[in-house]
């Protein structure tokens, strides 16, 4: 009776998760084990060819040759997403702490400012960076105006521009969870640490950082996962010159017409992120002693 | 029995001990001179002058908002005075941050580090002041034994009861052998019985360690039982400073007389004295036959208190209270006489 009730009560959230998360992932999983049809879409028979294709090139005569092409793309994406996460963390932690230290009313305003970008479409915001960074853009105008350069500096269509775009896009996802953990840290713990002869650096390392870690972990995941699969910033700011996972998947589903291969890469990335989440959930449970 | 041995002060604070000109023998441990503290328009402390002696148990007693916590935070270094000097061993420490003072604090809600074990908490101050690992372990063990939590080193704060957390907070603050321990209402979160136990415990720790304690409380009974000296505060000022008996027997004004224990306040003229008003403690008042008594009145109320009975008597000089042994047969509306010895009368400044 009560079990039925609790099941019924959980049904809406279970359905939501099921429909919006599990089903698409299962579809992707199924597609990744099928064969591509020449006009896009998938067809039978089942095959693991898509996964083999990640590591091996198939010549016309059917022999397989090991290739690092796709591994390079995955590696580049991981590095870029990692750098994005690190940079976001470096900016977000002080930002979150700054906000926590303000008076409550100022905090509301600052939090609103942090979440302001959510109100504007990501495509538009990313495109604004193109306008800012292009040769005739605002940044180059300013640089020339200030006499720093005579020629426009190429700021767009390189990894730096992609990184900038990614950091910009995902920064709020790091600030908000860190803020929410820091906000709950009792101020007297910090006073107690100072009282017991800790200096600023040690207060950060021994008190603030360990107590903020759940927020940092959540933020890292919220930034890393979408940064890994993003294709807007790489496409617009990187000019799509060098492929990243996101643009690769998109390509395979559109002009590449190789849905199984696109799905296989998507499954691979999702699995990686899922494993990271599981590890995080494990470690995150009891607040653990962080030093011997 | 374990004791808090006199260890060298933590490194962070050591330089102040050896500073030239420090610790002249007549200088108190702490000398607070003309200290004022304002938060914007709020004057939390006004021209405070106070000495804290070595090895003493000093209590700051006063109603809510009188500035007790503020004074304690100035001593701890969490706030800095808007005017005046705080000398520790003869050196002005008013501008120094907490980590540079050999003074530790027991916070009201204990403020134990939730992500560290009990041992980690107790050892924190030692670690921060550069003790070596093996020394820390030994000292932590010693401190935990002292607060009777020897087997609790590996627990986390949230696995302890309120009283146990309180002891950990004490052990943590005492571990680095500060010269002064500050306690802000450390017992207010405990139930009555535990509070009594911890009062005894605190007093014992203070005696054994020889460290000066400054305790903040608004519980007058707590102040009377534990302190060597009490500073009674009101509205940012210290009204009276002295030993508990002195404060109780010779309150300087109405506020102190009424805040510490109970007092009948009579106009001096009613007693044939000069000056403003006079205080008489209810327990010094005896209830006698109306005929021969100096004061007469009708019983307005009777409150049975177990071993004692509290009578409220309506006299021409106002309502007077008398606390008498037992529950002898008085009745409301009856006429009684009141008397007290001459030395029970304390002249008040206002
Ligand atoms: N940070 C602050 N900002 C503004 N005003 C403050 C601040 N801290 C204390 N005050 C004011 O200073 C006065 C003294 O406060 P304090 O906390 O020292 O009182 P207290 O004696 O400890 O009271 P309680 O028994 O309620 O703890 C109060 O009027 C309080 O409102
Ligand atoms: Mg207070």
Average of per-residue pLDDT values in chain B: 87
Give the list of residues 6+ apart from residue B171 with CB closer than 8 angstroms, or none: B122, B143, B144, B146, B147, B149
Cα atoms found within 13 Å of the Cα of residue B324, Cβ hemisphere only: 20
Mean pLDDT of all residues in A13-37: 86
Which residue's structure tokens are 């092409």? A69
What are the structure tokens assigned to A35, written together? Answer: 């064969």
Which pLDDT value is given to residue A285? 56
Which residue's structure tokens are 């006079």? B278
The C-alpha atoms of residue B214 and residue B234 are separated, in whole angstroms, by 17
Mean pLDDT of all residues in A117-133: 85
What's the DSSP call for residue A207? I
- Cβ B111–A199 below 8 Å, yes or no? no
Scanning every residue of chain A, which has its alpha carbon at the shortest distance from the alpha carbon of B172?
A196
Q: Is the bond leading into B3 cis (omega within 30 degrees of zero)?
A: no
Mean pLDDT of all residues in B8-31: 55
Which pLDDT value is given to residue B142? 93
Cβ–Cβ < 8 Å for A260, A36: yes
Q: Is the CB of B41 under 6 A from ligand 1?
A: no
Q: Is the model's pTM score more than 0.90?
A: no
Domains of chain B (ranges; CATH) run 15-255 (3.40.50.300), 274-348 (2.40.50.140)
Query: How many angstroms separate the Cα of B83 from the Cα of each of B27, B51, B74?
Result: 21, 17, 11
Residue to probe by mutation, ligand 1, list B46, B59, B65, B80, most atoms within 8 Å of CB: B65
Look at residue B21 and tell me whether its pLDDT is greater than 50: no
More confident position, A201 or A277? A201
Reported confidence tier of residue B140, pLDDT bands at 50, 70, 90: very high
Instruction: Select the residue of B78, B114, B120 nearest A191 (Cβ to Cβ).
Output: B78
Q: How many CB atoms lie within 10 A of CB B225?
A: 14
Average of per-residue pLDDT values in chain A: 85
Of ligand 1's atoms, which has the minimum distance to the CA of residue B68?
Answer: 21
Query: Helices marked H in B175-211 — which ranges?
Result: 192-209
For the sheet with B277-280, list strands across it: B264-267, B277-280, B346-348
pLDDT, tens only, B144-183: 998 889 999 999 999 999 889 999 999 999 999 999 999 9
Look at residue A253 and tell me whether its pLDDT is greater than 60: yes
Nearest to B122 by CA among B103, B99, B104: B104
State the DSSP H helix or E strand holding residue B233, giving kind and residue range, or none if neither. Answer: strand B229-234
Look at residue A179 and tell me whether its pLDDT is greater than 60: yes
Residue to probe by mutation, ligand 1, list B36, B37, B42, most atoms within 8 Å of CB: B42
Reported confidence tier of residue B25, pLDDT bands at 50, 70, 90: low
Cβ–Cβ < 8 Å for A75, A69: no
Q: Is the CB of B75 under 6 A from ligand 1?
A: no
Look at residue B78 and tell me whether its pLDDT is greater than 80: yes
Look at residue A118 and tell me whether its pLDDT is greater than 90: no
Which residue's structure tokens are 């109970």? B262
Look at residue A122 and tell me whether its pLDDT is greater than 70: yes
Cβ–Cβ < 8 Å for B266, B276: no
Cβ–Cβ < 8 Å for B240, B232: yes
- Cβ B107–A210 below 8 Å, yes or no? no
In degrees and rounded to multiples of 5, residue A220 shows phi and psi of -60, -40
Domains of chain A (ranges; CATH) run 47-56+66-284 (1.10.3720.10)
- Pick from A238-247, B77-86, B337-346: least confident: A238-247
- Cβ A197–B105 below 8 Å, yes or no? no
Which pLDDT value is given to residue A190? 95
pLDDT, tens only, B242-253: 999 999 999 998
Instruction: Tell me chain A's radius of gyration from C-alpha atoms.
Output: 23
């Amino acid at each position: 009776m009560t079990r039925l009730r609790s099941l019924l009560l959980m049904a809406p959230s279970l359905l939501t998760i099921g429909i919006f998360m599990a089903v698409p992932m299962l579809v992707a999983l199924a597609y990744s084990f099928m064969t591509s049809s020449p006009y896009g879409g998938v067809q039978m028979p089942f095959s693991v060819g898509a996964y083999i294709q990640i590591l091996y090139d198939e010549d016309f005569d059917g022999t397989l040759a090991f290739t690092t092409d796709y591994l390079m793309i995955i590696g580049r994406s991981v590095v870029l997403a990692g750098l994005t996460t690190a940079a976001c963390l470096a900016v977000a932690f002080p930002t979150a702490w700054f906000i926590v230290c303000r008076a409550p009313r100022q905090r509301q305003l600052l939090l609103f400012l942090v979440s302001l970008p959510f109100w504007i479409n990501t495509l538009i915001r990313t495109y604004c960076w193109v306008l800012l960074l292009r040769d005739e853009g605002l940044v180059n105008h300013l640089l020339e105006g200030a006499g720093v350069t005579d020629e426009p500096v190429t700021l767009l269509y390189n990894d730096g521009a992609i990184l900038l775009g990614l950091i910009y896009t995902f920064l709020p996802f790091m600030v908000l969870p860190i803020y929410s953990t820091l906000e709950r840290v009792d101020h007297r713990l910090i006073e107690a640490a100072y009282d017991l002869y800790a200096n600023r650096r040690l207060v950060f390392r021994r008190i603030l950082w360990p107590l903020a870690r759940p927020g940092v972990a959540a933020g890292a995941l919220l930034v890393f996962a979408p940064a890994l699969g993003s294709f807007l910033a790489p496409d617009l700011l990187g000019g799509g010159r060098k492929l990243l996972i996101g643009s690769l998947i998109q390509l395979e589903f559109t002009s590449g017409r190789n849905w199984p291969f696109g799905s296989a890469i998507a499954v691979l990335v999702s699995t990686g992120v899922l494993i990271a989440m599981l590890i995080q959930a494990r470690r995150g449970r009891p607040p653990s002693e962080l030093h011997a | 029995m374990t004791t808090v041995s006199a260890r060298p002060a933590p490194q962070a604070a050591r330089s102040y001990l050896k500073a030239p000109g420090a610790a002249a023998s007549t200088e108190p441990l702490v000398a607070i001179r003309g200290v004022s503290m304002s938060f914007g328009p709020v004057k939390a402390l006004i021209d405070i002058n106070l000495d804290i002696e070595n090895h003493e148990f000093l209590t700051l007693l006063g109603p809510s908002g009188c500035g007790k916590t503020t004074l304690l935070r100035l001593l701890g270094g969490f706030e800095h005075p808007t005017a005046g000097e705080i000398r520790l061993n003869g050196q002005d420490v008013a501008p120094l941050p907490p980590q540079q003072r050999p003074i530790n604090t027991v916070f009201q809600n204990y403020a134990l580090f939730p992500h560290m074990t009990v041992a980690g908490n107790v050892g924190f101050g030692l670690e921060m002041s550069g003790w070596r690992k093996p020394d820390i372990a030994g000292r932590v063990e010693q401190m935990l034994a002292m607060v009777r939590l020897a087997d609790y080193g590996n627990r986390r704060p949230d696995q302890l009861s309120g009283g146990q957390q309180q002891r950990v907070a004490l052990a943590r603050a005492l571990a680095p052998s500060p010269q002064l321990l500050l306690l802000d209402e450390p017992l207010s979160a405990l139930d009555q019985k535990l509070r009594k136990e911890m009062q005894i415990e605190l007093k014992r720790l203070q005696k054994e360690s020889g460290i000066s304690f400054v305790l903040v409380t608004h519980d007058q009974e707590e102040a009377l039982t534990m302190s060597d000296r009490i500073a009674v505060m009101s509205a940012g000022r210290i009204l009276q400073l002295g030993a508990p008996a002195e404060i109780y027997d010779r309150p300087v004004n109405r506020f102190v007389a009424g805040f510490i224990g109970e007092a009948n306040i009579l106009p001096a003229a009613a007693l044939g004295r000069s000056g403003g008003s006079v205080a008489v403690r209810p327990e010094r008042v005896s209830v006698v036959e109306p005929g021969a008594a100096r004061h007469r009145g009708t019983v307005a109320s009777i409150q049975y208190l177990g071993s004692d009975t509290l009578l409220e008597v309506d006299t021409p000089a106002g309502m007077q209270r008398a606390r008498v042994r037992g529950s002898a047969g008085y009745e409301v509306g009856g006429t009684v006489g009141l008397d007290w010895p001459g030395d029970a009368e304390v002249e008040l400044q206002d």
